[in-house]
Amino acid sequence: MRILSVIVAVSLLSIVIPANASDLRQVGMVNLPGAPGFGQLAFADGMLLLTHTGASAVDIFDPARRRVIAQINGLQSPRAIAVHENAGKVYIADHGSNSIVVVNVDGWKVIDSIALPGSPDAILLDSTGKMYWTDATAGTISLLDLHTKQDIAKLDLSGTPRNLAFDSARNLVYVTLQDQHQIVAVDPQLRLVNRFDVNGSQPTGLTYDPDTRELYVAVRSAVIGLNAGTGAEIDRVTAPAGVDSLWLDGDSQTLYAASEGSLLVMSVKGRLVLTDTITTEVKGHTVAYDADKQLVLLPGGREGKSKLQILRPMNINRQTGTAEETSAAVR
């Protein structure tokens, strides 16, 4: 009986994975032009688009060739990006010039600039040719008709708006109010539908999971999962101070969060659970996941220079506890 116990114990030890074994490995570090400082990230036509506030530009990065293939220059504090894939257009919220800059994906050239009566921060496209945009200084959200290039509605949010998320099932837009510790929900006519108090300071990053109908919000030292209908807290994960942007990969039900020098990896399968914390080689607050090429992309600063750190999920060998690169190739 004692011999059997020893054998079982040894067998169990052989499948234990070390606590520090991560399933993400760095596969690249790329220099980016210009000073560090990045805003929102998005994908268009297979390229990663980075609002590069430190360079007053938007970088067009090819994940396959691992280099910047184009740069949209002459911007004044670009903040956010919205992509209209069917139309082949990209919209950039240029805070400093009080405008929405329109870029054609074919050649990455500026084709239009829409003047606004305020400074845009976050933007969100709907399916009818309209755009929601926030002005953090004025504390407002407005609805812009892209056909007439005129605002058709405006709402005072009584707070400082930071990020937007869209619930297509309820046809609602959610907005984080950083200074009020709240999330508000508005309808397509910009009528206030709901206002939730968040148990955390300075809510910024926000994303919506249509599968679970949950909102995930980044607060100062945590990432919180909320019921999108009631605002009730469901789960939370402790995070480094300053956690900001979130990126949800719906296929794998994985949520990524970037903080200054850290990357949090969380599972949202059933509940919000931290699965990995990685100390990054760059310091930044934005992250993107390329589902096609299975790459995690982290822009930031390192030694005063702009860098893009590239990581790839690995398969963990459950017998040895070692990581092996996934079979997906970078095309």
In whole angstroms, what is the distance from residue 58 CA to residue 73 CA? 7
Any domain includes 13: no
Any domain includes 8: no
Any domain includes 3: no
Question: Residue 73 gets which letter from DSSP?
Answer: -
Domain that holds residue 74: 23-324
pLDDT beyond 80 at 321: no
CA 125 to chain centre: 16
DSSP class per residue in 114-138: EE-SS----EEE-TTSEEEEEETTT
Any domain includes 15: no
Instruction: Please report, for the domain that includes residue 258, its CATH number.
Output: 2.130.10.10
Total of domains in the chain: 1
Residues 6 or more apart in contact with residue 128 via CB below 8 angstroms: none
Whether residue 301 contacts residue 280, with contact meaning beta carbons closer than 8 Å, is answered with no
SS3 174: strand
- pLDDT, tens only, 213-255: 999 999 999 999 999 999 999 999 999 988 999 999 999 999 9
Any domain includes 71: yes
- pLDDT, tens only, 266-294: 999 989 999 999 999 999 999 999 999 99
Any domain includes 7: no
- pLDDT, tens only, 103-121: 999 999 999 999 999 999 9
pLDDT number for residue 234: 97
Question: Residue 328 gets which letter from DSSP?
Answer: P
In whole angstroms, what is the distance from residue 179 CA to residue 173 CA? 19
In whole angstroms, what is the distance from residue 93 CA to residue 116 CA? 10
DSSP class per residue in 231-293: --EEEEEE--TT---EEEETTTTEEEEEETTEEEEEE-SSS-EEEEEEE-SSB-S--EEETTT
pLDDT beyond 70 at 78: yes
Any domain includes 302: yes
Any domain includes 41: yes
In whole angstroms, what is the distance from residue 205 CA to residue 184 CA? 14
pLDDT band of 159, cuts 50, 70, 90: very high
CA 162 to chain centre: 13
pLDDT number for residue 270: 87
